[in-house]
Structure 1
Amino acid sequence: MQGRFQLRPATPDDLSFTREITCRNMLRYYIHYDLLWQDEAFDLAWGGRDNWLIECEGSVVGYFSLSRDARALYIRELQVSKTFQRQGAGSWAIDQIVAMACKERRPALRLTVFKNNPAQNLYRRKRMIVQGEDECFLRMQLDFSTDVL
């Protein structure tokens, strides 16, 4: 299945899809932690990020959103539609992001995940380590500063 996935850069026309899939996938976590979902805040953040769509056989099945600084490449969003979860799309996407981070010579890959989001198990399988936490989130990182054999 993983060989069937492809990436394409998102365009402003993809904003609605990315907002809807993110809200659909994340709303239960926002409710659990008594946080407020705001479309306007999502749209503003999305506009300043590097956004990529995940496609499978010509259909968009998810996306990821990245930002960068000198310390790391940051996964700001990684969303896969429910029908494609647990079919390798998320794992494949992380592999693509790791390759981007290595190509850009970033020292680390970082993300934040809700504490009760089972996606953290995927991130752990991809060798990401919890670096910190607060009442809602885990901060995870994959360090590239040491050589991997």
Structure 2
Amino acid sequence: MSYSLRRAQPNDTAFARDLACRNMLRYYIDHDLLWQDEAFDVAWSGRDNWLIMRAEIAVGFFSLSRDRRALYIRELQVTEAFRGQGAGSWALDQVIVMARTEGFPALRLTVFKNNPAQSLYKRKGLKVCGEDECFLRMQLEFGTPVL
């Protein structure tokens, strides 16, 4: 299957929020955290958001933020129908290319400890660099950018 990216538009917020809630609610419940639609919307509005497309159908999305230390994946969500079909792996490859192209020294993300997506991240070279009660912090280092 071939995928493409489309920059998210303001009218994509509901799709992204609903998908993230469907995919993540069980982890929030497992860790006694509260899902808040409003918090998602505020975070979404301040991030670089991309839809993962299969033909004209959105099958997922990712949200990014940046600082001088790293490119951060804040969300990477794929619809249930497209899990296990390479959409998440393809999207992660695209983000890795973005991070390298933009000259970031690292790609970072946080994942729930009980989320099986961490195996995908490990296969792509991200390493656990920290943890707390609920989350693993993972990163892929690219080395010092050339100035």
Instruction: Judge same fold: TM > 0.5, yes or no.
Output: yes
Equivalent residue number for residue 62 of structure 2: 64
Amino acid at match of 2:76: L
SS, match of residue 115 in structure 2: coil
Q: CA deviation at 1:58?
A: 1.3
How many residues get paired? 145
- Deviation string for 1:86-136 (max 9, x for gaps)? 100000001000000011000000000000000000000000000000010
Q: In the alignment, does 2:117 pair up with 1:119?
A: yes
2 CA distance for matches of 1:82 and 1:146? 37
Spell out the pairing of 1:1-149 with structure 2 (5 A cutoff).
Answer: 1=1, 4-145=2-143
Q: CA deviation at 1:146?
A: 6.7
Amino acid at match of 1:57: A
SS, match of residue 19 in structure 1: helix
SS, match of residue 117 in structure 1: coil
Q: Report the TM-score when normalising by structure 1.
A: 0.96
2 CA distance for matches of 1:41 and 1:57? 30
> What percentage of aligned pairs have identical amino acids?
68
Amino acid at match of 1:10: A
Aligned-pair Cα RMSD in Å: 1.0
Unaligned runs of 5+ in 1: none
The ranges of structure 1 where at least 4 consecutive aligned residues each deviate by more than 3 angstroms after the TM superposition are none
